[in-house]
Structure 1
Amino acid sequence: MLLGLLLGSMTTAVEAQQSTASARKELESLQQEIKQTERQRRDQRQQLKKAEAQLKLADAALAQAADAVVQQQTKITELQAQQQKLDGEAQVLEQQRQQQQGLLAAQVKAAYQVGGHDYTQLLLNQQDAVKLERTLTYYQYFNNARMQQLLALKATVAELDALKQQTAANQLEQQQRLAQLTSQQDELTTARQSQQQSVKELQALLSDQQQQLAYLKTNEKSLQDTLAKLKAAAANRRLVSKSGNTGKAGDLPWPVQGAVSQPFGAKHGGGMTASGLIIDARAGTAVKAVADGQVIYADWLKGYGWVTVIDHGNGLMSLYGHNQTLLKTPGETVRTGDAVALVGQSGGQGQPGLYFEIRQKGSAVNPLRWLRRP
């Protein structure tokens, strides 16, 4: 009996040791899994950070290429307007030259009809002194008139030559700028492809809903912090726009024309709601200020890409995001309808469109309450 108790006790001890060893292995395995999960999350955060940095670089390259195209197109338009002006001036001068030549021809003909013979013969003719004096007076008059017309014609021809040279230089510059524009448009296409690739990589990393929620929350916090700083700065600044047309609810023009693909208050992943609209529009479309105001922010913002914020005074601000490039800088005064940016898909958007917010005393309000009915 004693032997049985000893054997039973030993069996229990062995089982306990085995159970402890098994639990220890399970704990070690769990700890390894936790460490591996932490490493994976750390790697994911690093990959996400890298993807965000690549996206920002791609957005910057695209903005630079788009800005170069805009500037080149503006210069070409200016040169074309200048060319039209030169053509008009040349046409006026050509008409003036033809008139001067006609007057000169008429004077030569009149001089011939008055004299009938050359100037030397008149001097040798002393038979009629009165007639000689009168004829010499006519000759002097016609000679002076001819000299004036010749000088005027010479000046006109010189102006025409100068205009021709200026026209040739203008046309050459237009040709050069058109060639540059073609090259810059190719660079813009390449930059757009690079941006789209960066967007795909970012979206692939954000396939996990929890990670996407964390990303959205980070973006929202970045936006809120930026707007809070802008609100504080606006409170201490007297705006020129206060005396301008700041508009009223239901009367503001749309920044771009297009369908609303994301309404105000739309649900995002994790229960987050949208603070603004996304208005579908073609890339490169001009984004226009909805009211008079002053640009107080124009920079790249995580999750929103290239952003412009305009302070309209009286606690009203408008925000324009996901732009391709920005056309105004902080401090510039804008009027209703002024182009402030070009539509794009910066900040990680898969499709081009404008993100548009209206803030009243710092709080996001439904922009449709302020915009005119389409």
Structure 2
Amino acid sequence: MNFKQLFVLLALSGPLCVSANQADRKQSELDALKQRLQTLQQDFRDTQTHRQEAADELRQSERAISSSVRQLRQLDGERQRTQSDLQSLTQQADATSARIRTQQAHLAQTLKGAYQRGQGDALKLILNGADPNQTARDLRYLAHLSRAQQAMIDTLRADLAQLSALQQQASRKTTDLAQLQAAHEAEQQKLLADKHAREQVLQKLSVQIQQQRREISTLKRNERSLTQLVERLNRVMAEQAAREAERVRAARQAQQREAERGPTGQQRRPVTVNTDTPVAFRSSQPFSRLKGALHLPVAGELMNRFGAPREGGGLSWKGLFIRATQGTAVKAIAAGQVVFAEWLRGFGNLIIVDHGEGYMSLYSNNESLYKQVGDRVQPGDAIAAVGNSGGQPDTGLYFEMRHQSRPVNPLDWVK
């Protein structure tokens, strides 16, 4: 028999005669329950302390992930530039080889023709007893031909040296490309290891804390119920009306608890879906004149309304959570300067852009940050990648806009 059934039995029964032993027994149960609750609360506080330590580990892990993604992006750029240089060197080497083949063929043809015409022996011309004037003309022609042949040989040697240099450069570029590829693969493995470590830390502590919270909540409800029961046993209600009133009150409390808990196991549905993202544009107008002309920084499902109460109560939404695919580019909504780019507890990898006139835009829960403090950004620039850093259960972007530090509704600023 649970506590609710016992309440109903008390309400429906007539006046009760409760012995002192019953009251003592219930009081002992209540004392034991309180002791158990105190122990569990201490365990929960200890776990919360560990979670703070784990949050520091999570910060380091998510910083490492952000750095790895940025490093991979830089390595990809260097690899593309190296491949382009290697392709250019290969084309130059091919052109030089073709030129060398043409020069070699032309030089061979010239030497062969000179040999066949007997023009290769200057001494023979002098000693053959021919007309001196004709001999002088032939010697001048032979000297001119020799200089032309020497020039062709010199050009051929220069081209051969250039080809050798190009081949050496191409070899070095090929080595550089292989090293970049190895570094890219090593960085990719490091990124996967960092992500795996992060998931393990977060999953372990989240499950443990959720279990303890559920147990504490149950024990508190049991303590309240048992305390009420002990008090009622000690008072021994005499009138049916009082018992009926108590039954009604208990029923209302149960209904209220059910209403507060709400349906379980249901996935949150989006409020709306955003399909447009910022595009590059040039404008000399101040940021305040762009109201109604901007786009949200990422396409995805809007999971809340600005100013609506958060789940669990106590706080309201000061921005928009846009559920999106991990790794999707987060784009700057307008021109500005990065004034914050760091991991922040509760927000993960956070980047803040100052647009002037006291207006700022905030992008958090990112997997990686592409920009650093002091960087200038333009509308449509990729400044981060979508993730779930900071302990966020869903993958997406949490986006805020603020004026003079006060939150403003982002939907008032978009088309």
Q: Calculate the TM-score normalised by the size of structure 2.
A: 0.67
Residue 316 of structure 2 aligns to a residue in which SS?
A: coil
- 1:291 to 1:114, Cα distance in 2 relative to 1, 3 A: farther
* TM-align CA RMSD: 3.6
Matched with 2:311 is: 269
In 1, Cα distance between equivalents of 2:184 and 2:198: 20
In 1, Cα distance between equivalents of 2:64 and 2:392: 16
Deviations 1:92-120 (A, max 9, x none): 32343344335434543564576555333
- 1:40 to 1:202, Cα distance in 2 relative to 1, 3 A: closer
Deviations 1:205-254 (A, max 9, x none): 25749x9xxxxxxxxxxxxxxxxxxxxxxxxxxxxx99698582333354
**Percent of aligned positions that are identical:** 34
Quote the offset at 1:288 in angstroms: 2.5
Write out aligned runs for 1:1-374 (5 A): 35-36=38-39, 39-105=42-108, 107-108=110-111, 111-112=114-115, 116=119, 118-204=121-207, 205=209, 208=213, 248-271=290-313, 272-372=315-415
The answer to whether the 8 Å contact 2:119/2:142 transfers is no
Q: Quick check: 315-324 or 122-131, which moved more? A: 122-131
The answer to whether the 8 Å contact 1:245/1:291 transfers is no
Letter in 2 for 1:58: S
Q: Quick check: 153-162 or 119-128, which moved more? A: 119-128
Quote the offset at 1:26 in angstroms: 9.9
Unaligned runs of 5+ in 1: 1-17, 212-240
Unaligned runs of 5+ in 2: 1-20, 217-281
The answer to whether the 8 Å contact 2:338/2:377 transfers is yes
Quote the offset at 1:301 in angstroms: 0.6
The answer to whether the 8 Å contact 1:282/1:353 transfers is yes
Residue 269 of structure 1 aligns to a residue in which SS?
A: coil
In 2, Cα distance between equivalents of 1:37 and 1:334: 50
In 2, Cα distance between equivalents of 1:257 and 1:122: 89
Residue 270 of structure 1 aligns to a residue in which SS?
A: coil
Residue 76 of structure 2 aligns to a residue in which SS?
A: helix
- 1:138 to 1:189, Cα distance in 2 relative to 1, 3 A: same
Deviations 1:105-145 (A, max 9, x none): 45435645765553331232341223222222222222222
Residue 350 of structure 1 aligns to a residue in which SS?
A: coil
- 1:168 to 1:45, Cα distance in 2 relative to 1, 3 A: same
- 1:117 to 1:166, Cα distance in 2 relative to 1, 3 A: closer
Letter in 2 for 1:369: D
Residue 324 of structure 1 aligns to a residue in which SS?
A: strand
In 2, Cα distance between equivalents of 1:28 and 1:282: 51
In 2, Cα distance between equivalents of 1:270 and 1:252: 32
Q: Calculate the TM-score normalised by the size of structure 1.
A: 0.73
- 1:99 to 1:117, Cα distance in 2 relative to 1, 3 A: closer
Residue 368 of structure 2 aligns to a residue in which SS?
A: strand
The answer to whether the 8 Å contact 2:114/2:120 transfers is no
The answer to whether the 8 Å contact 1:244/1:292 transfers is no
Residue 325 of structure 1 aligns to a residue in which SS?
A: strand
Aligned residues: 326
In 2, Cα distance between equivalents of 1:245 and 1:172: 50
- 1:143 to 1:284, Cα distance in 2 relative to 1, 3 A: farther
Quote the offset at 1:308 in angstroms: 0.8
Letter in 1 for 2:174: Q
Deviations 1:15-74 (A, max 9, x none): xxx9xx99x989987985775465245324313323322322331332233233223222
